[in-house]
Amino acid sequence: MKGTHSDILRKMLQYSKNPPLFEPGEPRFWDDPHISKGMLEAHLNPTHDAASRRPETIDKEVRHLITSGTLKTGDRLLDLGCGPGLYAIRFAAKSIKVTGIDISKRSIDYARKSAKENGLKIDYRLMNFFDIKYEDEYDAVAARTPARPTSAAKPSIPKRSSRTSRRTFTTFIPASSG
């Protein structure tokens, strides 16, 4: 960098600022080969809760949502940010009709392959869930999110109505599982 110390310091501070929440970011982020490969590996790693929860935790959460009556056989579930379908496949195995939405092509491809291998019908859609048109009626909406918002778009999940979901539940994944 050329310039005075003050100019250099000002530039460094400018480049180190966090973007405003919901500010559009790099459009290829989730499809970057290195990032998407690493994210899928992190989701599928059963030894930590970094990207997805451990399999036994997912099983426990799904079992609770069904045994508590939150979800019932035949319910239509919209799974936002479904990743590789770790929850979706378990819900579908319990006769829940699942629509999974994710922005990562690698994760959706994995989810579709996994559903096919297990003989499950799951409607996976490759898209940003902030762009979804909530025209279909869902009985429940599931979202697993980090502890703080990191999305590149402003969320606009509709309020409860007869045209959307009757039940919404969120599983929060801690920012660090140290």
pLDDT on residue 173: 36
Q: So what's the pLDDT on residue 151?
A: 42
Its CATH architecture, for the domain 24-172, is 3-Layer(aba) Sandwich (3.40)
Closest CA to 132 of 72, 58, 82, 61: 82
Please identify every stretch of the chain with a pLDDT value under 50, giving residue numbers as ranges.
146-165, 172-178
For the chain, which residues make up each domain, given as ranges?
24-172
Backbone dihedral angles phi then psi of residue 51, each to the nearest 5 degrees? -110, -50
DSSP-derived secondary structure letter, 119: T
Structure pTM? 0.69
